[in-house]
Amino acid sequence: MKIVFNDVSFRYNGKYVLNRVNVEFETGKIYVVVGRNGSGKTTLLKVLAGLLEPEGTIFLDDDCADPLLLRENVGYVFQNPSSQIIGATVEEDIAFSLEILGLDKEEMQKRIKEVLNLVGLSGLEKEDPLNLSGGQKQRLAIASMLARNTRFLALDEPVSMLDPPSQKEIFRVLENLKKKGKGIVLVTHELEYLEDIDSIIHISDGTIDFCGSWEDFMMKGFEDVEIPFKWKLWKKCGEKVRWEDRYENSFDER
């Protein structure tokens, strides 16, 4: 499945926050959106998820997509997962989003079990979400969107409030979802622990001025994005090796 933006713009109070954006998103890929604060990153995600109605045209495969169709196919995950959690237990929180779809109890239980397994929360069905760690709460927010069978996830700074181990946790979940065929579009400044990127999108003043591989992105030298040291190392070595494989194993040997 593919979502295509064709000259998409959006205005707040008459001022363009997105200006004639042309970009494509496909399932089975991870897209990272970067740029300065206020450049239009979050607005891009909200338009993608059908939370804002823009100017221009958006296509879902060959069909013109209105916000309702986009909401059916793109799940939006907020920066603060607590703002999305409303259930008294983990399974009740996921069930709430399914009740809106009018699913029967058997189908709901099936989906809850599947998504909890996908995000690594199996066994916590009866747990109070307030007792979960920050990383677990974020995984629960992701699970609630996955339960609706959305083909894409749009995530706004999903690891900014998490410590490094929890950041790794979330990125591994997202990389696994990519392997399952989901399309992942995330805004993040935390690039250190994200390994599997298909495309980086750079936004400046509401306009996309770069969309391509991380190797080509490094060559551009955008000053508003800090390049992780390991990316520079990968470029120098001419190969992409997981940070843990290259370094943590060598430390263990010592």
Q: Is the pLDDT of residue 245 over 60?
A: no
Reply yes or no on whether the pLDDT at 244 is more than 60: no
Position 235 confidence tier, pLDDT thresholds 50, 70, 90 = low
Query: How many structural domains compose the chain?
Result: 1
Higher pLDDT, 86 or 178: 178
Residues designated as active site: 157
At residue 117, the pLDDT reads 92
CA distance 82 to 160: 14
Structural domain span for residue 126:
2-253
pLDDT of residue 81 exceeding 90: no
28: phi > 0 → left, psi -120 to 50 → alpha, else beta; which?
A: left
pLDDT of residue 243: 47
Percent of the chain with pLDDT over 70: 92
At 6, the pLDDT band (50, 70, 90 cuts) reads very high
Maximum Cα–Cα distance across the chain: 61
89, pLDDT greater than 70: yes
The band of 16, judged by pLDDT with boundaries at 50, 70 and 90, is: very high
Residues 124/153, Cβ–Cβ less than 8 Å: no
Residue 224 reports pLDDT greater than 80: yes
- The tens digit of pLDDT for each residue in 120-168 reads 999 999 999 989 998 999 999 999 999 999 999 999 998 888 888 888 8
- Dihedral (C-alpha) 166, 168, 173, 174: value to the nearest 10 degrees? 120
The CATH number that applies at residue 82 is 3.40.50.300
pLDDT at 242: 54
Model confidence at 214, in pLDDT bands (50, 70, 90)? confident
**Contact call for residues 8 and 50 (beta carbons, < 8 A):** no
Q: So what's the pLDDT on residue 1?
A: 94
Residue 177 has a pLDDT of 93
Whether this model's pTM surpasses 0.85: yes
Taking only the tens place, the pLDDT of each residue in 175-198 is 999 999 999 999 998 888 888 899
Q: What is the 3-state secondary structure (H, E, C) of the chain?
A: CEEEEEEEEEEECCEEEEEEEEEEEECCCEEEEECCCCCCHHHHHHHHCCCCCCEEEEEECCEECCHHHHHHHEEEECCCHHHCCCCCCHHHHHHHHHHCCCCCHHHHHHHHHHHHHHCCCCCCCCCCHHHCCHHHHHHHHHHHHHCCCCCEEEEECCCCCCCHHHHHHHHHHHHHHHHCCCEEEEECCCCCCCCCCCEEEEEECCEEEEEECHHHHHHHCCCCCCCCHHHHHHHHHCCCCCHHHHHHHHHHHC
Question: What's residue 236's pLDDT?
Answer: 66
Q: What is the mean pLDDT of the chain?
A: 88
